[in-house]
Amino acid sequence: MNIFRLAGDVLHVLSIALLLRKILRTQSCHGISLKTQLLYMIVFLTRYLDVIFLLPAHFSPFLSFYNLIMKVLFISSSAFTVYAMRYKFYKTYDKSHDTFRMEFILVPSAVLALIFNHGYRPLELLWTFSIYLEALAILPQLTMLWRTREIETFTKDYIFCLGGYRAMYLLNWIFRVITEPGY
């Protein structure tokens, strides 16, 4: 593990904490796109199926435990967020502004995963699909913000942390390509 991945994970966990804090403290999901949260849940479920099937890890015991904790955190927090928005605080959800059509993200992600991948094994295809999907999953949230013209401080911080997480992961991949032969 390198500093870029660690910083990315910290920013990702911080974005989750900000989102859950906002929902639970205000008991409202106003300003949050349920579609973005559903897409992130799909991302984590398709990417981390190895946790569900308890497939053996290919890393050191520490990294395996670290990865397991992070994967469970991402899956459970996204599922809880969707649950809270869909059932617990549904009356505060602004459906009229969350109008982005998810098929415009899901279909291209699936097509790209079928064309550009590292192999045609089911878990490999699902992992590749999750990479493409995650790159686009924020679009319903951004579209909702654009439509409402209303950006709460929490929302700015949440989106900043998500962007920072993606930027750190990009640097992580560049660093690994340069320093790890065969990556």
Q: What is the pTM of this model?
A: 0.90
- Does the pLDDT value for residue 76 go beyond 80? yes
- State the CB neighbour count (10 A cutoff) for residue 146: 10
Helix (H, G, I), strand (E, B) or coil at 104: helix
Reported as a pLDDT band with limits 50, 70 and 90, residue 110 is: very high
Provide the token pair at 150: 């209303």
pLDDT reported for residue 68: 87
Provide the token pair at 130: 């999750």
- Does the pLDDT value for residue 62 go beyond 70? no
- Does the pLDDT value for residue 155 go beyond 90? no
Identify residue 121 by its one-letter amino acid code.
R
- pLDDT tens-digit profile of 26-57? 999 999 999 999 999 999 999 998 777 665 55
CB 43 within 8 A of CB 134: yes
Q: What is the DSSP letter of 88?
A: I
pLDDT reported for residue 60: 53
Reported as a pLDDT band with limits 50, 70 and 90, residue 98 is: very high
Residue of higher predicted confidence among 98 and 123: 98
- Does the pLDDT value for residue 83 go beyond 90? yes
Please measure the distance between the N-terminal and C-terminal CA atoms of the chain and give it in whole angstroms.
Answer: 13
**Helix residue spans in 27-97 (DSSP H):** 34-47, 49-53, 61-83
Determine the average pLDDT of the residues in 126-153.
92
Assign residue 93 a region (left: φ > 0; alpha: ψ between -120 and 50; beta: otherwise): beta
C-alpha–C-alpha distance, residues 32 and 89, integer Å:
11
